[in-house]
A and B are shown apart, each in its own frame.
Chain A
Amino acid sequence: MIVATGLVVSRGGADVVRGVSIDVAGGAWLTIVGPNGAGKSSMLLALAGLIPAAGSIVVGGVSIAEGSTRTRARRVALVAQQPVVPEALTVAEYVSLGRTPHLSFFGTETARDHELADEVLARIDLTWAAERRVDTLSGGEFRRAVVGRALAQEAEVLLLDEPTTGLDLGHQVDVLELVDELRRERGITVVSAMHDLTLAARFSDRFALLAHGEIVAEGTPAEVLDPHVLARHYGIAVHVVHGPGGELIVVPARTPVGRR
């Protein structure tokens, strides 16, 4: 579980996150939605402890301000929006990098770390690619490897910043399904930032709509995906319809010609 209270993040002299509080139960999935510039990425970086923030962040009952950078990375893992594709690393080596917070400064992986990396590779279905270079993977495979690296951190909280950017439809669902399975199996708490509201609604337990650094709506996807609320904060009319299986589908309406 992760609880943040009164989170304030300042960047470039302005507050980009202004007094946000969230409370995500263990094994739950919260998605932060909101227009560009709302402060979603800043909030995730702050939750990961990577940028200074006022307020408190508590993971599993312990404040992340306590303990070292290394301890924090054992409890919170981040999948960055555009992960760097490293040169000359094999997929197995890449996934093993997730063991970094468990190693000492000059330390190297033990047999147990290698075993764990092998398990992760099997779990993310990349065992066949273990000795392939990461920079030869397809976009979808690479994203799985990034999730695998985060998984190898054995953290209880997984933060995902736009995990489906640049992926085709099939691979978008593929990555999100993988994350969903992992949180069900292992009770991992997931906090993600996403733009695709339809896709996010299929996987998240709860939504928090962020606008101008503040949470303006929070609840189940059905509660937050209100056409009026969305219209107000995205500045565009939207239709929210139900699909054949009852799933929510958000469709933006076109601005009438001449009204732009």
Chain B
Amino acid sequence: MRDAARVRGAATGGRARPLAAARARRAALWTSAGVGSVVVAGVAGLVVGPVAVPTAEVVRWLLSWVPFTAAPTLSEQDLAILTQLRLPRVVLGGLVGAALAVSGAAYQAAFRNPLADPYLLGSAAGAGLGATLAITLGLGGASLAVPVAAFAGALVGVGLAYAMASTRAAGRTSTSLVLAGVAIASFLTAAQTYLQQQNTDSLREVYSWMLGRLGTGGWHEVLLALPYVTASAAVLLASRRLLVVLSLGDVEAASLGVRVGRDRAIVVIAASLATAAAVAVAGLIGFVGLIVPHAVRMATGASHRVTVGLSLLFGASFLIACDIVARTLVAPGELPIGVITAFIGAPFFALILRRSGGAR
């Protein structure tokens, strides 16, 4: 039988390039679809709102940034709405969605755990404590105090979890890191609950932060998150192949010459930094980091190499779309975006799960 197989192998010259090319084409097609989804969601995000701005005008305005195209014909008021309200909100939504989804994809690969999400290592709990601290200290009014405190809190949370798991006795394994994350998260959440209970007057403000929101976001928030999200995403995208190797487990990855502890730390730090930046500017938005990477994996059937990048794109369009729903469903009021991500995400996930026949 082996000989027969060998003849077959020789007959094709030992090459499988046409099929590999088809795989590459499929990946490129999915990437285009991802970019397209971001564009469509972005334009929709600019068009939809209480004040009607025609789609054609919005598109012409966007194209006006391309040299040698016609100048836009927007009124000053429309221009202000677009540049000061809707565009920063769309950009922030895309940035936060991309950060959460790409971190989720990276965490799931690095920890070989399908349930790993961006909030795994105590970053959410740390951010919650930081934000609560800032709000109860009466700094909620200062424009960047809460995001900066949340960012610092998230980094402290992840840092503590890492320090706890990195002792020789803890074994420095991915399991010890996850366990340390759970312990740190419980501790920080308890501290935050205590703080909240002592300052019931700021309960509402803290609660609204926890639920996540993009509504109060402006260019300030975009500029705060942008450098961290960009740098982290670049590192994670460059680590795509490494993530595949790490998914073979510590022993096999090490036998392939990977310095598992160090390399996983690089991925985890990058993902945590992106998460901290996202949480700092948008609060705790659940579901995106967990669902988007899985949905992408199930829909494409591709490896981490392809899905990390696709998670970034589809995470961005998913959150922009969710934000449109959040601000139109009960207009002129707004729903917390975390509610929408779960309401849309869960049925969508069920659909993909049914169609793909399971997460394999």
Contacts and interface: CB of A to CB of B under 8 A. Distances in A.
B5 A122 contact: no
Interface stretch (A73-81, A194-202, A215-223): A73-81
B347 interface: no
B332 interface: no
Contact of B9 (A88, A105, A108, A121): A121
A68 B259 CA distance: 9
B5 A125 contact: yes
Contact of A90 (B23, B239, B248, B249): B23
Contact of A80 (B239, B244, B255, B297): B255
A56 interface: no
Interface in B181-217: none
Interface residues of B, number: 41
A114 B302 CA distance: 18
A97 interface: yes
B255 A77 contact: yes
Given A88-B303, A125-B5, A130 B257 contact: no
Given A88-B360, A89-B244, A174-B2, A69 B239 contact: no
B225 to A, nearest CB: 24
Contacts of A92: 16, 20
B92 interface: no
A213 interface: no
Given A69-B258, A72-B257, A105 B16 contact: no
B258 A100 contact: yes
Contacts of B301: 88, 133
A127 B15 contact: yes
A131 interface: yes
Interface in B234-256: 238-239, 241-242, 244-245, 247-249, 251-252, 254-256
B14 interface: yes
Contacts of B17: 118
B52 interface: no
Nearest to B13: A122
B354 interface: no
B6 interface: yes
Residue among A77, A88, A106 with most chain B CB within 10 A: A88
B257 A100 contact: yes
Nearest to A100: B256
A89 B8 CA distance: 23
B51 interface: no
Contacts of B259: 69
B19 interface: yes
Interface string B250-274: 0110111111000100000000000
B9 A127 contact: yes
Contacts of B254: 50, 69
A93 B23 CA distance: 11
A119 interface: yes
A125 B10 CA distance: 9
A193 to B, nearest CB: 14
Contact of A50 (B8, B245, B251): B251
A86 B248 contact: yes
A118 to B, nearest CB: 5
Interface of B: 2, 5-6, 8-10, 12, 14-17, 19-20, 22-23, 238-239, 241-242, 244-245, 247-249, 251-252, 254-259, 263, 297, 301-305, 307, 360
23 contacts: A70-B257, A80-B255, A83-B252, A84-B248, A86-B303, A88-B301, A88-B307, A88-B360, A97-B244, A97-B256, A100-B258, A101-B256, A105-B263, A106-B239, A108-B241, A118-B15, A125-B5, A125-B8, A125-B9, A127-B12, A131-B22, A135-B360, A174-B2
- 6 closest residue pairs by CB, A with B: A122-B14, A73-B257, A130-B16, A101-B257, A131-B19, A127-B9
Given A86-B244, A87-B297, 6 more contacts: A50-B251, A80-B255, A88-B304, A100-B241, A122-B10, A153-B256
